[in-house]
Chains A and B, each alone.
Chain A
Amino acid sequence: MDTQEKIADTELTMTGAEIVVRALCDQGVDTLFGYPGGAVLPIYDALFTTPELQHILVRHEQGAGHAAEGYARSTGKPGVALVTSGPGATNMVTPIADAMMDSIPMVVITGQVPSHLIGTDAFQECDTVGITRCCAKHNYLVRDVNDLARIMHEAFLIATTGRPGPVVIDIPKDIQFSKGTYKGPEGTQHKTYHPASEPHEAGIEAALELMRNARRPIFYTGGGIINSGTEASAALRALVSETNFPITSTLMGLGCYPASGSNWLGMVGMHGAYEANHAMHDCDVMICLGARFDDRVTGRLDAFSPNSKKIHVDIDPSSINKTVRVDVPIIADAGKAINALLEGWRREQHPRNDLSEWWTQINEWRARKGFAYEKQEEQIKPQYAIERLYELTKNRDTYITTEVGQHQMWAAQHYHFEEPNRWMTSGGLGTMGYGLPAALGVQAAHKDALVIDIAGEASIQMCMQELSTAVQFNLPIKIFILNNEWMGMVRQWQQLLHGERYSHSYSDSLPDFVALAKAYGGHGIQCRNPADLDAAIEEMIAYDGPVLFDCLVTKDENCFPMIPSGAAHNEMILGEITGDEIDESGKVLV
């Protein structure tokens, strides 16, 4: 009896649609985000009888993708999205590309027209695997129902291992109907895909050697540490504390080291901290852990940290020497490499590096207070709004998502993160419209947490429709709009680069956000006076349901400090724009 049950459990005959749902359950998926349509109806039929799988019905497929990303980023588990063929699939392209750029594990299931209609320009047909080939980590078109279970399990393996990323499974409708064999996820292996994750000992030794002799070291950390899991962040904290090296992070890595930590320099990059960028420029040993020398981080490449030896830990070999030449490459999972460095550092007794001069220098940079701004009594400064939001939410179980633009940078500068997985933002692709659906995904995974989408009035309108999803599923997300009536970052660049010709960057005909929230069944709040701000934020937090908070801020604020495009880290501008910050060669950069 026992053995029979076992056989029955590992090899079952069922329809393709049932295989999909069974594989999701066996992979430990508890939530998926989707939108039905003709080519996925059999899967939706199978979901109808699987109440243990929570399905969040979005209002536009892009929302499903970003919600799955938010779910993945906040839980460390893969996000799952389910959409139909044709427009369903093409609407998913933005989240897929977004997840690829930010290395977010995601499995996307798309319906496809029946096999015999593929290639005939059938209704709602598109070449989904062709379209997503260049923006997904991997994709599949299922041709035989008996391959489906294997493909489902392989997809989760590929999405979550190595450098994580999105995997697309395109399933023709006839495959969903036909019967095939189901196999469980046990022992899933891909025949050619075997990413390395263990650090090479010689690399670790070489790195330790550089670290022991460093006089001006810096840790430059990134999203790879968050992807590696919470243990990686814990190991990083120990390594920082034992070495006493200063630490900075990319936008994607915020939270892996606590912002309250004494060695924290703030974020690096174009709108990063003055002290972080200067330290990156002047360091003698740079220890890059799970970051990829993105152009927003490096600024002008030939002036990037000119006098440092560089150690680069990355799980993706193609990240090594892609733009910046490094001295010690370590191809490994960030967490494993940090642990190996920590062990090595502890093993060998050696005099602690004398970093007093370096810290003195860093403290001089800190004293410049690069994030300072002029306070105002009559109007709310956007930085002030974030500061107050931080103060009033920091002691709660808070998760922050953002859209893309000035508000995103102010959030990164003025909201401070103590833990990983608390900050969800579209870093690589820079997708306006990411934050609201991502917040849904976070809230679906953390029902009792306070989930806030820090938004701009322009970005928020890109996926505004998902407020309806929030209301339907009782996901009490808070949308905090810094409303300056401009596409602020566009306006700032037009001021810097295009002679203050503000071409099409004004947010005209804005909706009445309070009325809009009400129309959707949520709660709207508007605040324009700094004196009322705290009470209004408290009201937002206290409201049991989705809130759209329209925070009217000063209109022409620029996001500083800033490394102008084409400039080096030590050429940051702190305040006023004079108009000659960017030369001709810098103007062609983005």
Chain B
Amino acid sequence: MTQANTPSSPQSAYFIDDHSEDAIVRRTLAAIVDNEPGVLARVVGLFSARGYNIESLTVAEVDHKAHQSRITIVTSGTVQIIAQIKAQLERLVPVARVVDITTSPAGLERELALIKVSAATGSDERVEAMRLSEIFRARVLDVTLESFIFEVTGGSSKIDQFIELMEPLGLIQVSRTGVLSIQRGLPE
């Protein structure tokens, strides 16, 4: 294709991600939107209409006075596709702004998962599951003679790892919130 350009080269007035490579990257995007009817459908519809991928999505009103919601979307694509997703989202009328949390130094991501594990009283698995949950700082939400429910928060990879460890011990069911995001420090 055309010649590659260095990111935000001096001759460019805008920051442009360098997308000379076709590698697929995973990105967390946060969209601040007007909380009006249909806004989520607009965002989700854009992803399906243009063939973009949604790995997880969370949404809730975060400013009741301004009626603004925060939609955090985990998506994947080439860097060029990610830039395009961002631009397409910003083109929607009720979208105030879109932040790339993954590339932002101030970006923070957290996810919460509820994980049910079978563990009969007195079994080695039960002891091991308890021990691992302490390492992962998981809380025990519910306990029966046959099972635990753990609540664990953290980055997605930490949760993936915990689930992986629970698998051989008797993983029954998983429920995850999807990624939430926020930025450190004071808003610019």
Contacts and interface: CB of A to CB of B under 8 A. Distances in A.
A325 B1 contact: yes
Interface residues on A, range: 35 or more
A138 B45 CA distance: 13
B125 interface: no
B11 A209 contact: yes
A190 B1 contact: no
Contact of B13 (A137, A210, A322, A330): A330
A318 interface: yes
B101 to A, nearest CB: 19
A283 interface: no
Contacts of B38: 129-130, 133, 139, 141
Contacts of B9: 327
Contacts of A134: 45-46, 49
Interface in A289-317: 301-302, 304-306, 308-310, 316-317
Given A129-B38, A192-B34, A321-B83, A328 B12 contact: yes
Contacts of A203: 12-14
A193 interface: yes
Interface residues of B, number: 33
B77 interface: no
B1 A133 contact: no
Interface string A315-349: 01110111011111111000000000000000000
B186 interface: no
B19 interface: yes
B90 interface: yes
A511 to B, nearest CB: 38
A302 to B, nearest CB: 5
A330 B11 CA distance: 11
Contact of B91 (A191, A317, A329): A317
B168 interface: no
B2 A306 contact: yes
B41 A133 contact: yes
Interface stretch (B92-100, B150-158, B174-182): B92-100
Contact of A329 (B1, B16, B33, B93): B16
Contacts of B4: 325
Scoring A133, A143, A331 by chain B CB atoms within 10 A of each residue's CB, the highest score goes to A133
Given A134-B45, A192-B95, A302-B1, A327 B90 contact: no
A327 B13 contact: no
In the complex, which of the residues B2, B3, B42, B83 has the most CB atoms of chain A within 10 Å of its own CB atom? B2
A202 B41 contact: no
A201 interface: yes
A200 B13 contact: yes
A322 B91 contact: no
Contacts of B53: none
B34 A191 contact: yes
Contacts of B75: none
Given A133-B38, A325-B1, A318 B12 contact: no
Contact of B11 (A138, A206, A317, A318): A206
B133 interface: no
A-B interface, 6 closest residue pairs, ranked by CB to CB distance from nearest: A203-B13, A318-B87, A206-B11, A200-B13, A202-B13, A138-B93
Interface of A: 129-130, 133-134, 137-139, 141, 143, 158, 163, 190-193, 200-204, 206, 209-210, 301-302, 304-306, 308-310, 316-318, 320-322, 324-331
18 contacts: A130-B38, A133-B38, A134-B49, A137-B93, A138-B93, A139-B38, A143-B37, A163-B91, A192-B94, A209-B11, A316-B91, A317-B87, A317-B90, A320-B87, A321-B80, A325-B19, A327-B9, A328-B11
Given A134-B45, A210-B11, A322-B84, 10 more contacts: A129-B38, A134-B46, A203-B12, A203-B13, A305-B2, A318-B84, A321-B16, A325-B1, A327-B5, A329-B13
